[in-house]
Amino acid sequence: MNKVIISPSILSSDFSKLGLEINRLEENGADWIHVDVMDGHFVPNLTIGAPVVKSIRKVTKLPLDVHLMIENPEKYIKDFVIAGSDIITFHYEAVKQNTSNIIKMIKDYGIKAGISIKPKTNVDEIKQYIKDVDLVLVMTVEPGFGGQKFMAECADKISEIKKYKNDKLIIEVDGGINQVTAKYCKELGANALVAGNYIFSANNMKEAINLLR
């Protein structure tokens, strides 16, 4: 079986020492760094923007997995590319009929493009785009906050996505991932996992990351 990618979410980190938190993730075996960008409109919370990604870029060589939970992502994609993102994932619900343009915009910058769906959105709505993206991000909580409970019925979308999958597609799951829910998602076919609370609340970060693999 291929190795699963572990992408810790810095949303659960201590932002007063973000550089050290990223070093700690890197030393303890993280594969990617997951950056949750929220605008207070698409989701009921505000987090960080491109300047923070630019700062993070200076302290790590790990791929930056940027999750845009924002309206009008097309206005900000360029900023996030210049800041050093390696993967930019947008929400289908935020762009709908503009989806093909957004995918092209991200890929034209030479980085990976991801599409994400909220718990209430069906795979059917995005199936036509799966062949064009590098990554599909399945939300297993309502986006907006870390530390929520995993919704198993959302993870079942993984099996459906697999039907439209090519060899290279990354199926990433985000929300409520721990040792138990990680196993469930991997069995269904996920090959990348985001985890915030589980990794940052662990006494032993290395062990927590390893237990997700």
Q: Which residues are catalytic?
A: 36, 174
Asked if 36 touches ligand DX5 (CB under 6 A), the answer is yes
E strands present in the chain: 5-8, 33-38, 64-69, 87-91, 112-117, 135-139, 170-174, 192-195
Beta carbon nearer to ligand DX5, 29 or 166: 29
Beta carbon nearer to ligand DX5, 36 or 39: 36
What burial class does residue 179 get, using C-beta atoms within 10 Å of its C-beta: 0-12 exposed, 13-18 middle, 19+ buried?
A: middle
Between residue 137 and residue 166, which ones bind ligand DX5 under the rule CB under 6 A? 141, 143-144, 146-148
Single out the residue of 56, 174, 176, 178 in contact with Zn ion (rule: CB under 5 A): 174
CA nearest to 170, candidates 195, 137, 139: 137
Asked if 21 touches ligand DX5 (CB under 6 A), the answer is no
Q: How far is the CB of 20 from ligand DX5 (least distance, A)?
A: 19
Tell me how far apart the alpha carbons of residues 94 and 92 are, in angstroms, rounded to a whole number.
5
Q: How far is the CB of 31 from ligand DX5 (least distance, A)?
A: 15
User: Residue written as tokens 């099996």?
Assistant: 159
CA nearest to 154, candidates 188, 180, 113, 195: 188
Asked if 11 touches ligand DX5 (CB under 6 A), the answer is yes
Q: How far is the CB of 67 from Zn ion (least distance, A)?
A: 4
Asked if 195 touches ligand DX5 (CB under 6 A), the answer is yes
Q: What is the DSSP letter of 189?
A: T
Asked if 182 touches ligand DX5 (CB under 6 A), the answer is no
Beta carbon nearer to Zn ion, 39 or 174: 174
Contacts of 123 (CB under 8 A, 6+ apart): 117, 157, 160, 161
Asked if 174 touches ligand DX5 (CB under 6 A), the answer is yes
Between residue 27 and residue 46, which ones bind Zn ion under the rule CB under 5 A? 36
Beta bridge partners of 88: 66, 113
Kindly list the residues in this chain that would bind Zn ion in the complex (CB under 5 A): 36, 67, 174
Residues that bind ligand DX5 (CB under 6 A): 9, 11-12, 34, 36, 67, 141, 143-144, 146-148, 174-177, 194-198
